[in-house]
Amino acid sequence: MLRLLGYKEGRTRLGARELALVERGIALTREAAAPAASAAYCAVTVAEDRVSAAVPGVAWQSRSLARLLAGADAASLVAVTLGAGVDELIRDLFAREEFALATIVDAAGSALVHGLAEWVRGALLRQAEAAGRAAGLTPLYGPGYGDWPVEEQAALAVLAGGDAIGLRCTETCYLVPQKSLVGLLGWLPPGGRDRTAAGCARCTLADCAYRVRTSRR
């Protein structure tokens, strides 16, 4: 959350007042959130830069997605949301001109919804283990990441069951509620190449303003 706010580890210092405001923002975000998730399972095949689902007419053209899912035989389509309460809280804080707190809540909501997606990933892995299926699961990867067109977000939200949790996508490809995510988790065979690296480590969009860069000495 602090990274989203622009803080640099070891360089930015927070005083007691700032820390108290951050803690308040986190608490308000948790109170306003109504986490919900849905997931759908389907077989997939990967050929070059195309991923095809075992659903008539459903395929995705993306080099970065195909690279992530190389060797996968199936995927879980996932939708997660914090609900409308966090969006309403942010709008209310801005309307009251509590700009710093509103910005903190916005960042906390982004961090929380990513945490929810990771929780879903862990739950799916536990279900697979309980069923006696030994497999790996990639990090969540969604439209708008790398070279996967964000325009495909709307269809994916429907396939993942977004309607059941009150999630929809606008004509301009914005998710509503805003603190929501949709994407794929690829099922990999045991002993396959490690895919635990997520986010910037896998994304092909080199000029992204939010890319986390490692320093070289």
Q: Find the Cα–Cα–Cα–Cα dihedral 61, 65, 70, 74, rounded to 10°.
A: -90
**209 in a domain, yes or no?**
no
**1 in a domain, yes or no?**
no
Check pLDDT > 90 for residue 172: yes
Check pLDDT > 80 for residue 206: no
Give the confidence band of 191 by pLDDT, cuts at 50, 70, 90.
low
Report the CATH number that the domain containing residue 74 is assigned in CATH. Answer: 3.40.109.40
Q: Which of 7, 42, 21, 181 is nearest to 93 (CA)?
A: 21
Mean pLDDT computed over 189-199: 56
Range of the domain at 95: 35-201
pLDDT at 210: 46
Sign (positive or negative) of CA dihedral 122, 25, 3, 95: positive
Q: How far, in Å, CA of 119 to CA of 71, rounded?
A: 24
Number of domains in the chain: 1
How many other C-beta atoms can be found within 10 angstroms of the C-beta atom of residue 167?
Answer: 24
**188 in a domain, yes or no?**
yes
Find the radius of gyration of the CA atoms of the chain.
18
Mean pLDDT computed over 95-112: 97
pLDDT at 203: 53
Number of H helices and E strands in the chain, helices first, is 5, 8
**55 in a domain, yes or no?**
yes
Mean pLDDT computed over 36-42: 96
Q: What is the DSSP string of 66-114?
A: HHHHTT-SEEEEEEEE--HHHHHHHHHHHHTT-HHHHHHHHHHHHHHHH
pLDDT (tens digit per residue) in 126-148: 998 888 776 789 999 999 999 99
Give the confidence band of 120 by pLDDT, cuts at 50, 70, 90.
very high
Tokens of 59: 């395929």
Check pLDDT > 60 for residue 192: no
Task: Please answer whether residues 160 and 79 qualify as being in contact, where contact means their C-beta atoms are separated by less than 8 angstroms.
Answer: yes
**24 in a domain, yes or no?**
no
Higher pLDDT, 13 or 142: 142
**21 in a domain, yes or no?**
no
**18 in a domain, yes or no?**
no
**53 in a domain, yes or no?**
yes
Q: How far, in Å, CA of 215 to CA of 209, rounded?
A: 16
Check pLDDT > 70 for residue 214: no
Check pLDDT > 60 for residue 40: yes
pLDDT at 72: 94
Q: How far, in Å, CA of 76 to CA of 39, rounded?
A: 6
Check pLDDT > 60 for residue 35: yes
